[in-house]
Structure 1
């Protein structure tokens, strides 16, 4: 029974898109989509530049923080709606916990 088995060392890594984390790549991909729908080369280049700038800024803000910093910030700072509401946690506008 000489089988090479791969044992992963890190199970809780962030999702990756290329070399970027998924939450850092999302603004760039959204900006590429908006630039593609603009229909002009100039609009595409401007949106790609803005998306790249947003992704770099988010990566720098997130650099020394928890890996899920962007998701935690979005939960606490953005308004809740039925799509993003979590059932197992209280709403983000309730700041004081009892217990």
Structure 2
């Protein structure tokens, strides 16, 4: 009758790649892939350094803000398309608060 059951404390955590959030690790992974495709060691090193710089910039930008800050920023600053449009929220060009 005595079993160890795991009770999660947080259900809405950000996705992780290892210890890093996805939005912080994605620039490094993307630039790693681009550098690998480039074919030379110098361009690989430059791409990897650029990816690390971008990820550190994003992590500093996200510091002390909402965990989904990057998603919110993308919603407000990218153009709406059928792929990025959300149904439950108004379009990003409507910025008038009601209430």
- Please give the TM-score of this superposition, normalised by the length of structure 2: 0.92
Query: Which of 89-98 and 61-70 deviates more?
Result: 89-98
Deviation digits for residues 28-82 of structure 1 (CA, Å, limit 9, x no counterpart): 1111111111111111111010000100010011011000000000000111222
Unaligned residue ranges in structure 2 (runs of 5+): none
Give the aligned partner of residue 29 of structure 1.
29
Give the aligned partner of residue 45 of structure 1.
45
- Please give the TM-score of this superposition, normalised by the length of structure 1: 0.92
Unaligned residue ranges in structure 1 (runs of 5+): none
Q: How does 1:2-81 map to 2 (within 5 A)?
A: 2-81=2-81
Aligned-pair CA distance for 1:3: 0.9
Return the alpha-carbon distance in structure 2 between the equivalents of residues 65 and 98 of structure 1.
Answer: 24
Return the alpha-carbon distance in structure 2 between the equivalents of residues 33 and 84 of structure 1.
Answer: 24
RMSD over equivalenced CA pairs, Å: 1.2
Query: Which of 85-94 and 67-76 deviates more?
Result: 85-94
Aligned pair count reads 99
Matched, 1:92 2:92: yes
